[in-house]
A and B are shown apart, each in its own frame.
Chain A
Amino acid sequence: MSEPREVKMVSVTIEGRTTVVPEGTNLIEAAKTVGVLIPHYCYHPGLPVAGVCRMCLVDVEKFPKLTPACATSVMDGQVVHVHTEKAREARKGVLEFLLINHPLDCPVCDQSGECELQDYTFQEGRATSRYEEPKRFNPVEDFGGDVMYVPNRCILCTRCVRFMGDVAEEPVLNVSERGDRAYIGKAEGHDLTHEWAGNVVDLCPVGALLSKDFLNKARAWELDRSATVCTGCSQGCNVTVETRDNTVVRLKPRSNTEVNHFYLCETGRLNYRWMNRRDRLDQPMVRVQGALREVDWEDALDAAAAALGNREVTVLASPNASNEALFLAERIIAKHGGQGVFRVERGGEAPLAGVPDLSLRAERAANGTGARLLGYTDLAEQRKPLQIGADSAVLVLDDLLEGDIPDAVQQLLAAGARLVHVGTTLPDAIAARVDVALPITNHTEEEGTFTNLRGRVQRFLQARTAPGLARPSWFVLGDLTERLGASDGFYTSAAVFDALAAAHESYNGLSYARLALRGLPVLDAEARGLTVEAIHA
């Protein structure tokens, strides 16, 4: 890595609070460091500065007039006032102009509750309107993809235009017409069917660009949010899961400048329906005299331990299983011999042009890299056929066994081996054969970590409650490994991760506390050729 460039630091006082920031920082970002939010619409940290909305006007001492905070870089010793009479009056005027043609249909607007126009108007706008003339009206337009445009609500901040132009580098959107007739138009013959276009919905500060998928589904304030990691591909974008009544209703990007900046692709964004699956396995089941019976957890775990016994085990893992679960299954292999394999769906890549190293990756699962680091082999890369002895065991770890099942897996399942299934569903393919089925929670119902394709280990948190008697995967496998003498048992997923960090060099020294919510790379990411630098070298 190259030495960081020497950056000059300057000190600035904002609302009486002094902060030291690198030279070139704008006032909005500088104010954030001291906990002051300067109202703004057109500015977004991920986009080039436009300075068109005039909402960020602030009073800077020794400046003759108000200055837009987004387009002003800090100067040493500057004193900035955000809430002087003059600045508030100016912003009040800006808000009044923004609202003259605004329909004020908050009751039916999906943005309501997370709308910056609502927030700032409530904070510092006029309580009543003085505008009496008829309002401009434009019909709702379908922008293609998942995006819908409600021109009446648009405040022409041009965030969407700049995103498509400068970040997606596909300048589909533009400002059409002028003055109070202006609206956002799309280039003739083009629309927003772009893998990353859905981000304009998040960027739009008002309810002008809406997700068709989320339309009329819920109110922003009714949603419960938790931090997670997208399972759409191996990029590992940071995501917030939003649930209403224990049902996942949408996914939103969570900013992490090391991974996905502020963005999320369409594939990931709409990849949430499976999280709400109803046909879940929610009772531990054991085959008794040829038929699967629901039993309690202790009996099921004993039966699973007996089925695995001292046998050599082949683990067929899901590449969406957490590192914790994969690690515990790997402990069984380490103790009794055998191998770990996984299979992963592949698709086309779709990079986001304006952001380095951000793309919808070909590998459409979150933890393929984690599985490889723990010694699992991708069946597509497996050269020699799988060897399964007659007196061996197969442990299926949440491979859903849906769609086309490759021959290697067919053989694995067809072999006479004992079959233990630890999964969120009971796949038809093995329902008739499985000896023990243990229900686990899916990744929105437990916590754990994934390792993305750059070797970055990231945590995800629980977002909803589990169905029936299902238990977290680390919990079930922890109990199972304890019965098999492969571990001492675990009480938290953090403890499982600590054991993983102790057992595997790549993870040495990492812990949940250190990973926090933005994650850290595995220690030998570079040596293993995972980082961009290593790939280019």
Chain B
Amino acid sequence: MTIRVKVLDRPIEEVSYIRSTLSGLATTFKHMIDPHKVTMQYPEERWDLSPRWRGTHRMLTTETGKAKCVACGLCPTVCPANCIKLVPGEDEEGNRYPLIFEIDEFRCIFCGYCQEVCPEEAIHLGRHYENAEFSREAFVYDLERLTAQMHPVSELWDPADPSGE
């Protein structure tokens, strides 16, 4: 069965593309001379992040370079995404210390509760956003990786100072 296609005979000024092309180009030229640019020249230029930006984690260390974490177990308990794996144990001096501390950054929802609950000010969220990796496994940050991160850390919202002054 053949399908009949109805061909409409429209006037040329309606089907010509010249007019819309010109109007599109006009918009382009208008933006070329507009001083208010919105495109950022990444990576030469970067965003200024809010002090309260919550990005991937960083574990702070003591002067001796050891993680401050004492494996108290509060952050895995509070974490709503259940993405922190902690196995407590002891370090060489017999102090409480995490044998395994891993955060699955894929499952993390960046709520910041772990930073808020940490009694040792050890685990922090980071003020950065460059997290690309070549594999999924690389998004599970272990203690070594967390302590090696050097980016600035997030400041949490302080109820006593709601607007951050």
Contacts and interface: CB of A to CB of B under 8 A. Distances in A.
Interface in A191-227: 215-219, 221-222
The range of chain A's interface size is 10 to 19
B144 interface: no
Interface string A358-400: 0000000000000000000000000000000000000000000
A216 B77 contact: no
Given A106-B119, A107-B120, A108-B96, A217 B88 contact: yes
A221 B77 contact: yes
Contacts of A112: 72
A216 B73 contact: no
Contacts of B72: 106-108, 112, 219
A216 B120 contact: no
B96 A216 contact: yes
Contacts of B74: 107
Contacts, number: 30
Contact of A219 (B88, B89, B119): B88
A216 B94 CA distance: 9
A108 B95 contact: yes
Interface string B79-108: 000000000111000011000000000000
Contacts of B70: 107-108
B71 interface: yes
A216 B71 contact: yes
Given A108-B95, A112-B72, A218 B120 contact: no
B95 A219 contact: no
A215 to B, nearest CB: 8
Given A216-B88, A216-B89, A216-B90, A222 B96 contact: no
A220 to B, nearest CB: 9
Nearest to B69: A107
B152 to A, nearest CB: 25
B157 to A, nearest CB: 20
A219 B88 CA distance: 9
Nearest to B122: A107
B43 to A, nearest CB: 40
Contacts of A222: 73, 77
A165 B120 CA distance: 40
Interface string A99-136: 00000001110001000000000000000000000000
Interface in B54-83: 70-74, 77
A485 to B, nearest CB: 51
A224 to B, nearest CB: 14
A108 B73 CA distance: 9
A13 B162 CA distance: 48
A218 B77 contact: no
Interface of B: 70-74, 77, 88-90, 95-96, 119-120
